[in-house]
Every structure is written in structure tokens, then in C-alpha cells.
Chain A
């Protein structure tokens, strides 16, 4: 009887209701004060300006130089923070201890590339520095709707002040492939690296920028202060801490996303039915464990998998080295794989290379050879220009297995993709000279470091397939050529396209997406650009697509860019094996980003004076991606581009780096760069090398 009585009184009495507000406010203030003991201010010196701005108003990809926030996670001097805060690789780092204005030098000892966390170790720590570690809230206790306070250390001048706070609630759990909590408190560089705490001062997690669509230290920054904020659960942070603490300044621990090495079958139904493996990368963890193409994933870690999204949610939480159990269905039978040890995502082998260029737009069965690379496996085996490759041995099967027929260029690529350099494969060719069929043995090699010195004529058999909707015999209206402004029907966004004057629908063109540097987004800029390219476009069948962007490119622009490419591909005959992203400065960085994001579409990336800002993603054998890096030796980006070259090579991507003497941050259509520009053209023409 007493319960409803009391309840009613509470609702009725204004004085008591206000007291509730007061109580809540006091609780917030107490919680903030409590967090004060484990939230630290981080300051840095030096570091690179990874994104050059090119204008007075920097774009969103510019890093600030101000203080940032971190959380003490161990009494012996470890501080966790968001990797966003160290994206510019500062020379030195200092941490102000809470409650005092004592500053300590700190070093990066570990980076979690999957969750974008960085661990710092304080140097010169005395025994009397008392460090408080927050209490983690267990993940299963975190309920949507609970009060959540985002805490930062960047606004206050002194560290004995209380930290700053933004008040909100937990909006969702298990976000960003199971890695993050979501909150509507205002999360921004003001508090990235700080804790998300509850009303009693316990930590839900560490605030980070995050985005399910994009990756890297800066991903998700565009959502700052929007009411969409993320935090990595504190429980997960503590769980990974022992692994991170093994790192040192000299050898920082790098924690990577666990990598299985498979791709899925057909894209459309990925979210509707149980995932079926399309390819298994040779030498990958999946391959070593014995997973095979065609296997249906039924359960991961004992949890039933209904669609690909669930598979990603389960695998998204795993690190390199983690052991995962799978239940799969093969030929109607269930098979369990108990311990599949995930890898690091670094491809096991380099992309193999036979040493030929194929004739394009060819409807006949097999692949006609257009060009033989000197000293390649193809040359040694005695393959000649004009020969037609009809059959090949599958490199992933025993040498005794029968040869399989090669339908066309794409099929040959897929068959070679599962091989590795050094392997010998049998190839059946039909000789041009006498029409006889011969079986040769070719040793697969490594991809060449240069484009062919001269491109052979006659790249195309001029028999490209008809576009959808076209009927043979009906004369098509000749598509417009030259530079033209087009509009995306769905969004009303304008973009420009340059089509070669000698365009022929029977010859598939390469697509070069030009991502302009900051401010060069006007029609006259695209006129300038396409006029330097016009001759090359005519000679080598290249279509240029110019999406414009006010301000600096950001990750969210990729949808727009992809739409422009798709639209062009729907109007003109396009060779999807040669779709490239090309850009200068910020545009070049966007080109690199786009290359990794749109794996199914982009085959080549050619950035000028632009380093890679985000992480290098693993190579996918059936979706080859090649890089042509250009930088002037007077360009501030020189070091960054060289580092990008090293990183891409380490991940076994085919990369060419051209350092141009005496050139600064500029495009390569001038005197200094034109030889490189011409090599770039030949590289584009030879991108379907096999």
C-alpha cells in the first residue's frame, strides 16, 4: 500500500521534483570531480602536418596542435588515449598529472589499429606520484538510456581544475562492428581520449572518433559535436592492456584487426542469407585452417550466423593472433574448426605476374597476347605476341590436375591470383604463326617496377560488348565527346567528364578520376586539367571524371565520387579493370583513401605529393590494386610519400615511386614532370597486365 502513496507524492510535489534536478546536477558534478583523478591532459610538440591545406581555412583533415585527453589505466604510469590525438606523429609527448601541475614526458608504446587507441608510458615517474585507475563498468551492465558523461581535459588551463563535461545518455551498444558504445553526449577533439563515465564516476569507455564506413585515426571526426559519439568499452581496453603493455618506445606493440583471408560470394545478398565463401586467399589463416570456397558459415564462436553482417560483427571484435571457432556447412555436412588463428592482414604472397598484356575488347574465347614484358616468365616460356592463351593449370591445385579453360581476361586474372611468384604453371596457347596449339611451362614472377617503355599499338580488338538497352543493328546516337558538365540525377550534384574525341563504343576506355587539390573545383580548372590530358586520352582511350568539392575532401565524399564513376560507366564503354583515382595534395590523399575504400571499383591509385593518412588495408587477391606515387623532392610531403611507399610495399602492393628532382608541390604537366606524366599514361594503359 505504501509504495503507490510515496510514488504519487514524488510526482506531485514541485519542491521534491526540483530536488531531483538538483540531485542529478550534484551527482554530475561529483562524478566529474571523481574522474578528475584519472583523466590527464596530454600535450605534444612537433609532428607532421599530414594534410597540407593549400588555403587559409583548413579542411577537416587538418590536425590541431592543442592539448588532448587521456585516461590513466595502470598505477605504474600507463595512459590510454585516442589515436586521433597522435595522428600527426608528434616528436615529444608530455602528460600533466591530475591534481598537480606536474608534467611528465611520455612515450607511445602501443597502438591498437582496430580500435584506434594509443597507449603511453610515463617516463621519470617518482614513487610518490599517486595514480588512480578508473573502475570499468562491465559491458553487460551497460544499458541504453543510462546517463553518460563525456569528460575532456583540453579546455582548462590548469590540471587542478575539474575537467570539462558534456552530458548525455548511452545511445546504443555494439556499434562499429561490435567495437564501440554510442552516446549522444558531445564528443569532439575536446574530449577524444577522455572517458565516458556514468553518474557514479565509473568508466563506460574511452571516447574516440569512429565510423562504421571509414577507417583510420581521423575516421568519424566529421561527426564531432553532432550527438553521435563513440567510446571503446573500458572492459575491452583493460582486456587488451597486457598485450599493449608489452610494447616499448623502440618497439611499440601494434594490435591489428584479426584477418581471416576470405571474400564472400556475390554482393547483393550479403545481408540476407548465410554467408558463403567466394575465395580463400592462399596462405591466409582461412586457407591454413582448411576453409574452402563454397563453405557456408553457420556459426562463429558458438553464435549462429544468419547473414554477413553478423559475421562481421563477430570477427570485427577480434585481433590478430586471436583464436576463433567456426562451424561451416560443406556438401550438406557440418564441420567444426575449433582454432582458427587470425592473421594480421598482411598478404602472404606477392601478386604473381606472368608477363603479358592482353588484347582488350575481345569476344573470342581465351586471351590474345598484346605485349610480352622483357625477361618475364611469359618471354622465357616462349609465348609470343599474337598467341592466344586457351588453358592454364590452376596454381592452387596439384600439378597433375587437368588444365582449365580460360574464358577471357578476367578469368585469367582470377586463376593467376591464387598463385604466387616462383610457381611454375602449364599454359596452353594457340600460336599466331601456324595456328597450332602448344602447352608451355611458365614461371610466375613479380610485377614489374616500370611501365613498358613504349606501348604497343592495337590494344583493342574493337569488339566490346553492347551496353544494356542497346540492340545490335540499331545505330546509336554518337555520345558526346570533349569536356562536358553532367549532373547526378539522385542528388543534383554537378561533375565534369572528358571523353576522347575519337571515342568508339566498341573500345573500352580506362577511367581516370581526377580529385583536384583544394580550391581547384571550378569548370576552368577542369578545362585546364583535361587540356593537358587530351592527347593522352585520345591516344590511349582514357575518360576523365572530375567530381568537384568545395573545401577539402573528406571520407564521406566517396559515395559521390563512386556515383560519378558508375554514371560514366553506364553511359560509355568502360574497362572496369582500369578505373583509377588520381589527385594532387588533398586530392591525392582522397585518391589513396578511395582506393582502399572502394576495392571492388578502383584498380589503381596515382597520388601526387600526397602521403597515406590512414592504415594500409590488406591486399585482396581478386581485387588487385596498384599504386603510382609521385612527389617532387622539394615537396614538403616528400618524407610522408616515401613512408607511404614503404608501408604499401610491406603490405605487398605493387608500387611505383617517382621522385622528381627540383619539383615542389605541383602538378606534373610542367617541364619537370612531363616524363613522369607520360609514364603514368603508359602505366594506366598497362594496368590490366597479367
Chain B
């Protein structure tokens, strides 16, 4: 009886606790995480304000010296780059280094005469080591969309899940993005004017990526909400064809000594395959093979293409029409071996063609 009474008493006391808090535990956690993360995210102000380009953006602080990461955008093209931190302090800033291949820039607060110190920032060393989050993981977004916050106003906080972790360029219909590596696609509407450079964190407030630009998925004709992962890297060929790996980690490590990757040289219409397609009469003419020129690279392939074959993939990329076939092939130079998948009746067949120099160019 005594035991029962104790339990009852305990139950009553316990029952009061959540009532007083008035929220479920989850909400309390999000509130606390929100407050913590907000201290590490900044409002960025710079160039823009014309032609529909916003002059404001977001960024994340990464050390006590006042370095911060943001998206490489037109906002940085100014001598008067400013930020507002969570407590409303205004700082002037400099761009330290930019990497167009990653679409990321590293900037730093100009302390002037009085060297200050940043108290709240993200720990990047841990962030760099974190493996990609699986699809379906809860995430939080912090950004200054539509300049809703100035000075000490809190950033906009959003909640969503990782919809997908996938390569941005081409595969998801974005052809004007500089960055070609994997991105987090978020199922919340995070990418708006001003949110670029904002933080995507885990449910526990750990930084995992920077909110990207406003880009349209040309394949679905929809806006895409994505973030560049902190462990983003990409490989760029230098002029000798050697692949150079560039990463946010390198930018943060080398700071002003960081040198951006060499500009990609696109091989434009410099190769020869010998496949004649049907006349491109309508906007979406499917790439049907009309004939193969004798002795051409396509004719020399082990598996031969035939008239009426429909080319459906080039190197795994779908080619719904002749224009996309030409666009993709234009990015490969002579010597490249490209895998084509063709539909012949009800069957799909693979054909590998080694591209040659255009006819008429002398062989060295």
C-alpha cells in the first residue's frame, strides 16, 4: 500500500512537470538548438539591388578570427562588404578566397584598430569528417530569405528532411550551376533571395551544408531547394589533363594562399563520331540514327549502330532529343571513349565509341 502511494505521488508530481513546460520535449529542443545556431549565422550585405539581384545574403561563422563561409555570388563584388551578427554588431569584411567550382567563398571580418574575437562559430573540423546524411534525415535551415532579418533579428529557421543526396549539375536538370558535385536536396522551400550561404544543420544543430542559389530544374521546370555539403569537393582537370581535387576543407585550410582551380576547358565540337542522325525538324526530335559514315569511329565500334537505332543515353545521361545529344557530345574531346545506350525495337544495347579528331584536321 505504501509503495502504491509513493507511485501515485510520484505520478502526480511528474504529471505536473510537462504541464508547466507547456511544450513537448521536441519543441523545447528545437528552440534551444535554434537559439544556439542563430548565434553562428550572419546576415551578409554587399553588391546588388538592381536587375532583380538581391544585395543581401547569409553566411556561417567558422572561427574566432571572424572567418565565414558564404555562397560565391555577385553580393561579394563590392568594396563595402558588411555583415550583421546575431547581437546586431555590424562588421566590414573582405573576401579571402573564392572557388567558382564549389560556388563557395571564404570571407573575413576587417577588425580595424581593435582586434576582436568571435564567440560563437561552427566547428568545421568535425563537420568535414561527417559522412553524408541519409535520405529522410531531419534537417534545419537558417537563412536571411527576403532580408526578413537585419541587425539583431533572428534568422529564419525552417525544418525539412533530406529529400535526396545527388549530383546537382545535369542530373537534376541544372545546367547553369558551377558546382558539379553532390548536393543535399531539401524538401523545405529554403532557396530564396537572401538565403544563399545560410546554414543547413542536423536536428542537433551540427552544420552540414551551405544553402545554395536559386536555381531552376530545367528537366522538371520547377525551382530546386538545395545545399552544398561542407565536405563538398570536385575534380577539375588542369591543362595536362591531371585531375585536381578542390574542396571547402582546402579553402578553409589555405585561406589567402588558396588558388582557385583552373578554368575548365570545354571541348566544343572538336570531336568526330560519324553518326548521322535524322533531320532535327521539331524541337524535340528524338536522336534516331540515320546512317553511320563508313570508316568513322562509330563504324569502328565493336558493337555497331544501325539505322533506326534510337540513342537514349550518353554516358548514363538521358538524351531525350537531338539537341541534348549534341550538347552532351560537345563536352567530349577527341580520344574520349563514350558509352552510348541505344534502343533497338524492344531491346537496349550498349555501344562504345572512341571519338576522333574532326575530319580535315591534320593528325599530329
Residue of A at shortest CB range from B283? A49
Residue of B at shortest CB range from A88? B284
Residue of B at shortest CB range from A167? B161
- Interface residues, chain B, CB within 8 Å of chain A? 4, 7-8, 10-11, 14-15, 17-18, 24-26, 29, 134-138, 160-161, 163-164, 166-167, 171-173, 185, 187-189, 203, 217-223, 282-287, 310, 312, 316, 318-321, 324, 341, 343, 345-348
Q: Can you name 13 A-B pairs with beta carbons within 8 Å?
A: A1-B11, A8-B11, A21-B26, A31-B136, A43-B318, A46-B285, A58-B221, A65-B219, A65-B320, A90-B320, A156-B164, A186-B187, A636-B283
A154 to B220, Cβ gap below 8 A? Answer: yes
- Pick the residue among A8, A21, A103 that contacts B14 (CB under 8 A): A8
What is the minimal beta-carbon distance from A99 to any residue of chain B, in angstroms?
16
Query: Is A124 an interface residue, CB under 8 A from the partner?
Result: yes
Q: Nearest 7 A-B pairs (CB), nearest first? A: A66-B219, A17-B25, A46-B286, A8-B14, A189-B220, A166-B187, A164-B164
- Bound CA–CA A1/B15 (angstroms): 13
- Residues on the B chain within 8 Å of A44, using CB: 320
- Bound CA–CA A47/B161 (angstroms): 34
- Residues on the A chain within 8 Å of B316, using CB: 157
Query: Is A590 an interface residue, CB under 8 A from the partner?
Result: no
- Bound CA–CA A62/B172 (angstroms): 17
- Bound CA–CA A17/B28 (angstroms): 11
A154 to B167, Cβ gap below 8 A? Answer: no
A14 to B29, Cβ gap below 8 A? Answer: yes
Given contacts A5-B10, A46-B321, contact A66 B283 (CB under 8 A): no
- Pick the residue among A1, A186, A225, A636 that contacts B4 (CB under 8 A): A1
Given contacts A66-B217, A92-B312, contact A29 B166 (CB under 8 A): no
A60 to B221, Cβ gap below 8 A? Answer: yes
Name the residue among B17, B219, B223, B341 with the largest chain A CB count within 10 angstroms: B219
- Residues on the B chain within 8 Å of A149, using CB: 136
Given contacts A46-B286, A47-B284, A48-B284, list 4 more A-B pairs with CB under 8 A.
A4-B15, A43-B320, A44-B320, A124-B346
B17 to A45, Cβ gap below 8 A? Answer: no
Query: Is A484 an interface residue, CB under 8 A from the partner?
Result: no
Given contacts A14-B25, A17-B25, contact A5 B312 (CB under 8 A): no
- Residues facing B in A24-46 (CB within 8 A) are 25, 28-29, 31-32, 43-46
Query: Is A155 an interface residue, CB under 8 A from the partner?
Result: yes
B26 to A17, Cβ gap below 8 A? Answer: yes
Query: Is A561 an interface residue, CB under 8 A from the partner?
Result: no
- Residues on the A chain within 8 Å of B7, using CB: 1, 5
Query: Is A601 an interface residue, CB under 8 A from the partner?
Result: no
A32 to B135, Cβ gap below 8 A? Answer: yes
- Pick the residue among A9, A29, A92 that contacts B134 (CB under 8 A): A29
Query: Is A489 an interface residue, CB under 8 A from the partner?
Result: no
- Bound CA–CA A44/B319 (angstroms): 9
- Bound CA–CA A12/B137 (angstroms): 24
Query: Is A64 an interface residue, CB under 8 A from the partner?
Result: yes
What is the minimal beta-carbon distance from A464 to any residue of chain B, in angstroms?
47
B282 to A189, Cβ gap below 8 A? Answer: no
- Residues on the B chain within 8 Å of A47, using CB: 284, 320
- Bound CA–CA A123/B161 (angstroms): 36
- Residues on the A chain within 8 Å of B219, using CB: 64-67, 154
- Residues facing B in A464-481 (CB within 8 A) are none
- Pick the residue among B8, B135, B173, B320 that contacts A45 (CB under 8 A): B320
B284 to A165, Cβ gap below 8 A? Answer: no
- Residues on the B chain within 8 Å of A189, using CB: 220-222
B29 to A17, Cβ gap below 8 A? Answer: yes
- Residues on the B chain within 8 Å of A88, using CB: 284
- Bound CA–CA A31/B17 (angstroms): 34
A164 to B185, Cβ gap below 8 A? Answer: yes
A92 to B318, Cβ gap below 8 A? Answer: no
- Bound CA–CA A92/B287 (angstroms): 11
- Pick the residue among A63, A65, A66 that contacts B321 (CB under 8 A): A65
Given contacts A105-B343, A124-B346, contact A188 B222 (CB under 8 A): yes
B221 to A64, Cβ gap below 8 A? Answer: yes
- Bound CA–CA A90/B14 (angstroms): 63
- Bound CA–CA A224/B135 (angstroms): 21
Given contacts A62-B221, A91-B286, contact A165 B25 (CB under 8 A): no
Query: Is A490 an interface residue, CB under 8 A from the partner?
Result: no
